[in-house]
Amino acid sequence: MIDSPVALITGGGSGIGAAVARQLLDAGHRVAVTGRGEQRLRDFATELGNPEGLLTIVGSTAEYDQVTAAVETTLKEFGRLDTVVANAGFATHDTVAEGDPAGWTEMVLTNVLGPAFLIRAAVDALKETRGRIVLVGSVAGFVPTPGNLYGATKWAITALAENTRRQVTEWGVGVTLIAPGRVETPFWDELGSLPPGHLLTADQIADSVVWAIRQPEGVDVNTVVIRPIGQPN
Ligand SMILES: NC(=O)c1ccc[n+]([C@@H]2O[C@H](COP(=O)([O-])OP(=O)(O)OC[C@H]3O[C@@H](n4cnc5c(N)ncnc54)[C@H](OP(=O)(O)O)[C@@H]3O)[C@@H](O)[C@H]2O)c1
């Protein structure tokens, strides 16, 4: 356990992040998960039986000092950092022409600046381990949808992944963009119902995240777009 790899996952208390955390713990990694809701993190840890290799850290990915604190706490507790997963994110589920701007600042800070803050805070530790950065983008970051500001935040993540890769690859650090289509998670709670059609499970996305993270040294999986069958765009 003492030398096992360490991952830090933002927004790891539910949905895709929680599925990645569970699968990595099962594979023998040590895992730190962050989130704003203390109770959500506590419930997640309880559900897993409070495993020794799990660390929960309350904090927002939209605040740089809280992101650096999460990285420092992980390093202090586990002694190394091999992977960061910039997963925290949400949608206001409205449109730029008709929606409520009050929700947009937090969404843009969380979805766009959050991953950039995480990369900045973690890169020195990742250089030491020749580790990996995983960004959770979206199909909405590849396909324009009418009025979708959330989608624009994910287009930014598509660009951030490649721009980051081009800088950090010479330091031996890998960058993977995982772009899911529709997945059944609390992401849709605000909407009051799930979108129509077949949805993926969080574990089906986590399978690809873990596959990318566990590639042999020297192999860098860059972009994975995963839709449920039947999702046309
Ligand atoms: N579900 C889908 O269909 C879908 C499709 C494509 C992409 N995605 C992306 O997948 C990622 C994970 O979403 P999900 O589907 O797993 O939904 P989710 O279950 O709602 O997960 C999002 C997590 O992020 C946390 N979070 C939100 N804002 C945060 C902040 N500022 N700082 C730290 N943590 C924060 C939330 O916890 P707290 O509220 O307690 O902080 C929550 O645990 C997101 O980036 C989302 O955009 C989802």
The domain spans of the chain are 6-226
Which residue carries 């023998």 as its tokens?
28
How far apart CA 38 and CA 115 sit, in angstroms, is: 21
Over the Cα atoms of the chain, what is R_g? 17
Ligand 1 centroid–CA 225 distance in Å is: 17
Q: For domain 6-226, say whether CATH 3.30.450.20 is its number.
A: no
Would the pTM count as exceeding 0.95?
yes
Question: What is the pLDDT averaged over residues 139-159?
Answer: 98
Instruction: For residue 184, give both structure tokens.
Output: 């059944």
| 90: pLDDT strictly greater than 70 | yes
Instruction: For residue 115, give both structure tokens.
Output: 């991953």
User: Strands 30-35, 54-58: parallel, antiparallel or unpaired by DSSP?
Assistant: parallel
Provide the pLDDT confidence category of residue 1 given band limits of 50, 70 and 90: low
Give ligand 1 pocket residues (Cβ under 6 A).
10-11, 13-17, 34-37, 40, 60-62, 87-90, 110, 136, 138, 180, 182-183, 185-187, 202
| 145: pLDDT strictly greater than 80 | yes
> What are 105-139's pLDDT values in tens digits?
999 999 999 999 999 999 999 999 999 999 999 99
Distances, alpha carbon 14 to alpha carbons 22, 203, 205, in Å: 10, 11, 13
* Active-site residue, from 44, 78, 150, 187: 150
Amino acid symbol at 186: P
> What are 24-42's pLDDT values in tens digits?
999 999 999 999 999 999 9
Residue 83: name the closest of 219, 209, 224, 225 by CA. Answer: 209
How far apart CA 19 and CA 136 sit, in angstroms, is: 13
